[in-house]
Amino acid sequence: DFIEKPYYQGAAGESTIQSDKRLARELLASKVKLKSGTSKADKLIFGHDLDNSEADDAYEAMLYSGAGTRSDTGFNMWDVTTRTTVPAGHVMTFDMNTRDDIVVCGIPVALEVLARLAPEAKIEVFAQDGQWAPKGTHLMRLTGTAQGLLSAERTALNFLQKLSGIATLTRRFVDAISGTSASIVDTRKTAPGMRAMAKYAVVQGGGSNHRFGLDSGIMVKDNHIASCGSLAEAVRRARC
């Protein structure tokens, strides 16, 4: 009884990992039945062509929030310091404000993190992804048990800060080429496990996605040329 009500209630006898895997299978099954499309990103992640809709974004947010939460609280979702120092049932209100001028990104993932660790919290959201937010902008107000909110805050902020940072830097480059025929596209140089979210942040900052993965298209680079002997030979092989 030392943990919060879980975000997903597993079946009797299931471990946390087993219940999470079952939830993922159930969500994916529902998603496949309801949606169809040609999203290369979804095909790479889920093995199916699915359209890039709000439902897809919500599903990805759930997956990322689960991994992020577990990396911080452990698989028992146990915040030792908070549980031993903060009384159960103590209610607090937290305001989330920007400390710099940013392009907001990561709100859906942050909300999923809060739903996992502070499911009873009342959350007011005052900003949305892609929005330009000057320093001091009020993003959210959270009211709930201090134990849940304190356990969730760092992971929620990590997602918001990481993704907002990508979106904000992208916007700077986009603004720098404004009025030209150039465009800003991303790369595959993303933190492992964060590619879909990082590329989502690039779009929120006004940029465009390039290859999602190695199977998204052919792109001959210097190492390929060195391995083949020449650019002409690399191109010839790629066309075969």
Which residues form the catalytic set?
Answer: 189
DSSP string, the chain: --SPPPSS-PPTT--HHHHHHHHHHHHHHHHHHH----BHHHHHHHSS-B--SHHHHHHHHHHHHHHHHHHHHTTTT--HHHHHHS-TT-EEEEEEE-SS-EE---HHHHHHHHHHH-TT-EEEE---TT-EE-TT-EEEEEEEEHHHHHHHHHHHHHHHHHHHHHHHHHHHHHHHTTTSS---B--S---TT-HHHHHHHHHHTT-B---SSTTS-----HHHHHHHSSHHHHHHHHH-
**Nearest Cα residue to 204 out of 76, 105, 113:** 105
**Nearest Cα residue to 157 out of 62, 69, 84:** 69
The answer to whether the CB of 204 falls within 8 A of the CB of 103 is yes
Place of tokens 């992640």: 45
